[in-house]
């Protein structure tokens, strides 16, 4: 692997976005996992307001929308993802209650206690799990829910290579009990947590990228940065294959108290 880029944050964000606009999901997950997390959330009705923060192109949002009443607003920093999201919503006949807008999860356009549910798959890390849970809480009604996925360690000790990879990528990665304690401290009852199955990474994230990588490399033929990005993402997949016993994504679901 190229030695210059040790961390995903060192790549051009526009390039990362373009790469991920070729894939249905921008992070590990699956419709089954989205539905499992949703099964812990009650009280939703046709008046409910849901926000999906860091929604990407909306793979998980469309699953949510097809299985919940109420309206959903997706928020993402990147216009291209928002455009693809709204196209998908229209194709599925969901545009009347599902819409994405460009915005940032650290500057939300909601009123106090306006939301019944905040959803965020593979995205809260952008501002940090602890900060996100604390800042988002005021927008959720009492008795409303937050549901996020977050990279987490499975073991108290890890081999140095994977430890270093994650400390560069996301130093807030921690063991599951610590993540749950942070949720409690932020003012939520931790209702459920579960580990995403391996297939969410292998089949739904890494395998889908193989096709995308081909198109991307054709488009950016001769572009060193694009080559390095693909190498980095291939390296990420190899690390997962080698060290998947030590880490993964975990769904954390909490109810605002
Ligand atoms: C790993 S992707 C996950 C996307 C989607 N939720 C999924 O699971 O497929 C992270 C997403 O967060 C978005 N993002 C990054 N920083 C953001 C911010 N400050 N506010 C809103 N979205 C952000 C990215 O554009 C990207 O779509």
Give the range of the structural domain holding residue 94, as residue numbers without chain letter. 27-197+245-256
Q: Is residue 98 part of a domain?
A: yes
Q: Is residue 209 part of a domain?
A: no
The tens digit of pLDDT for each residue in 57-103 reads 999 999 999 999 999 999 999 999 999 999 999 999 999 999 999 99
Q: What is the domain count for the chain?
A: 1
Beta-bridge mates of residue 150: 250
Alpha carbon nearest to ligand 1 atom 11, residue: 54
Q: Is residue 206 part of a domain?
A: no
Exposure class string for 73-96: b at 16+ Cβ within 10 A, else e: bbbbbbeebbebbbebbeeeebee
Provide mean pLDDT across the span 141-155: 98
Ligand 1: which of 13, 54, 126 to mutate, judged by most atoms within 8 Å of the beta carbon? 54
What are the pocket residues of ligand 1 if the criterion is a CB atom closer than 6 Å to any ligand atom?
Answer: 25-27, 29, 54-56, 59-60, 75-78, 81, 104-106, 121-123, 126
Q: Is residue 149 part of a domain?
A: yes
Q: Is residue 96 part of a domain?
A: yes
Alpha carbon nearest to ligand 1 atom 1, residue: 27
Per-residue confidence band for 4, with pLDDT thresholds at 50, 70 and 90: low
Task: Report the pLDDT value the prediction gives residue 186, as an integer from 0 to 100.
Answer: 98
Q: Which of 169, 234, 215, 222 is nearest to 23 (CA)?
A: 215
Provide mean pLDDT across the span 141-164: 98
Provide mean pLDDT across the span 135-153: 98
Q: How far is the CA of 104 from the centre of ligand 1 (A)?
A: 9
Ligand 1: which of 72, 126, 136 to mutate, judged by most atoms within 8 Å of the beta carbon? 126
Alpha carbon nearest to ligand 1 atom 27, residue: 56
The continuous run of DSSP H or E covering 148 comes out as strand 140-153
Residue length of the chain: 257
Q: Is residue 59 part of a domain?
A: yes
Task: Report the pLDDT value the prediction gives residue 2, as an integer from 0 to 100.
Answer: 45
Least-confidence region, from 19-28, 82-91, 104-113, 248-257: 19-28
Q: Is residue 61 part of a domain?
A: yes
Q: Is residue 233 part of a domain?
A: no
Q: How far is the CA of 219 from the centre of ligand 1 (A)?
A: 23
Task: Report the pLDDT value the prediction gives residue 1, as an integer from 0 to 100.
Answer: 47
Query: Do 56 and 62 form a contact (C-beta atoms < 8 A)?
Result: no
Per-residue confidence band for 6, with pLDDT thresholds at 50, 70 and 90: low
Supply the CATH number for residue 74's domain: 3.40.50.150
Task: Report the pLDDT value the prediction gives residue 216, as an integer from 0 to 100.
Answer: 93
């Amino acid at each position: 692997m190229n030695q210059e880029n040790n961390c995903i944050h060192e790549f051009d964000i526009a390039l990362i976005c373009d790469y991920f606009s070729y894939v249905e999901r921008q992070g590990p997950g699956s419709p089954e996992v989205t539905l499992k997390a949703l099964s812990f959330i009650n009280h939703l009705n046709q008046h409910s307001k849901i926000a999906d923060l860091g929604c990407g192109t909306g793979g998980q949002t469309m699953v949510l929308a097809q299985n919940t009443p109420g309206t959903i607003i997706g928020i993402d920093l990147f216009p291209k993802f928002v455009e693809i999201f709204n196209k998908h919503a229209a194709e599925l006949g969901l545009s009347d209650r599902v819409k994405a807008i460009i915005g940032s999860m650290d500057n939300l356009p909601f009123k106090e206690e306006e939301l019944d549910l905040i959803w965020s798959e593979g995205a809260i890390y952008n501002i940090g799990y602890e900060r996100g849970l604390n800042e988002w809480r005021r927008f959720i009604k009492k008795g409303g829910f937050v549901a996020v996925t977050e990279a987490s360690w499975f073991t108290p000790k890890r081999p140095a290579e994977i430890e270093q990879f994650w400390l560069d990528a996301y130093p807030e990665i921690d063991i599951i009990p610590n993540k749950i304690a942070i949720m409690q401290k932020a003012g939520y009852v931790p209702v459920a947590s579960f580990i995403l199955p391996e297939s969410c990474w292998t089949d739904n994230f890494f395998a889908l990228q193989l096709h995308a990588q081909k198109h991307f490399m054709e488009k950016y033929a001769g572009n060193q940065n694009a080559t390095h990005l693909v190498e980095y993402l291939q390296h990420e997949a190899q690390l997962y294959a080698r060290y998947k016993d030590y880490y993964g994504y975990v769904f954390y679901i909490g109810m605002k108290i």
